[in-house]
Amino acid sequence: MRAISVALAAGLLAWSPPPLAAQARIRTDVDTTRVTVGDRIVLTVVVEAGPTARVEWPDSLDLTPFEVLEARVPTAEVTGEGVSSTAVFTLAAFELGGLEIPPLAVDVVGADGVVESLTTDPFGVEVVSVGADETGDIRDIRGPLGIPLGVMRLALGTLILLVVAMLLYMVARWLWSRGDEPVRPALEPPPLRPAHEIALEALEALERSPLLERGQVKDYHIEASDILRTYVERSFLVTALEMTTHEVLASLQQAGVDKSFRSGLREFLEQCDIVKFAKVRPDTDACCRLLEDGRGLVRDSMPDPTRNEIAGPDLLVQDVEAVPVGAREGS
């Protein structure tokens, strides 16, 4: 009996609780497993460890084929049971089909310096095209409905009578007013305005627009790109709105446009293209600097004021109302 007691005491002394890092566990969750192209997916990763452990999130993420639009890692919360650290990742996919969010590795460092690596489980996500038919029910096309012959003849005869009556009324009205009404001089065309004035006004209107406040950074850059492309089109007779950035620069080089202007325009349009295809999301300061760069390009390429009297049609445009900012959003 004494020997058994001694053995139990030795076992209790030899036993020690597992290290804090070994107590760590990881949980993951996604808000949806079916999205359309470009829609956002929220991936939440929660790591729980001992009270003296430290959670180390990776500095860079590669979740191909998904693009990481935003990553938020708040300060770890200390509870009575240990430490809880949560990271929220906003993802987007631009490929169709069944895709998989790859595993994510997170290190947990214990008080003794021992590192335990935790890995999330992969998640399957189905990406479908916009407007895809989810019913899967393929129906036959209905045949054309027949129209009675009598109805067609009646409608055609009525239409002919209306057209003839309208023509007779217009001729009679013209003959009646021909001899009494004095000849009016032709209206003068609206005054011509320089292309740079319209471009600077459009950039100022974009700066006052609420696009950035609403978080519509992509629409903001599309509008800025269209303003500069319209300015190039009116100033250098290059169809910039219908060309890619590379084609615009090639056409300007062929037209003999100054190299410094082409270089600045290339940087401006490439920055807009990167945001347009959802590769980056610049902050508000970067968006404001973009408009300043656009103003600089317009001012540096403005014609000499002394040449206003001989300015050709490539530097002047009709004085029309500016299109409100964001009018193309629905197109």
180 occurs within a structural domain = no
Average pLDDT over every residue of 220-246: 92
- Would you say residue 119 has pLDDT above 70? yes
**Each residue of 54-83: pLDDT tens digit?**
888 887 778 888 888 888 887 777 776 788
- My answer on whether 122 and 47 are in the same domain is yes
Residues facing 98 on adjacent strands = 126
pLDDT of residue 140: 65
State the CB neighbour count (10 A cutoff) for residue 26.
Answer: 19
pLDDT confidence tier of residue 268, bands split at 50, 70 and 90: very high
The half-sphere exposure of 96 on its side-chain side, counting CA atoms within 13 A, is: 4
> Which region holds residue 194: left if phi is over 0, alpha if psi is between -120 and 50, else beta?
beta
Average pLDDT over every residue of 199-207: 93
pLDDT of residue 129: 84
CATH number of the CATH domain containing 92: 2.60.40.10
Which of 207, 213, 209, 218 lies closest to 280, judged by CA? Answer: 218
Domain endpoint, select from 75, 96, 128: 128
pLDDT of residue 110: 81
User: Higher-confidence residue: 21 or 115?
Assistant: 115
Q: How far is CA 211 from the centre of its chain?
A: 12
216 occurs within a structural domain = yes
What does the alpha-carbon distance between residue 220 and residue 272 come to, in Å, rounded to a whole number?
A: 9
306 occurs within a structural domain = yes
pLDDT of residue 239: 92
Domain coverage including residue 124: 16-128
pLDDT of residue 308: 46
- My answer on whether 213 and 123 are in the same domain is no
pLDDT of residue 56: 81
Residues facing 258 on adjacent strands = none
What does the alpha-carbon distance between residue 26 and residue 44 come to, in Å, rounded to a whole number?
A: 11
Average pLDDT over every residue of 120-124: 86
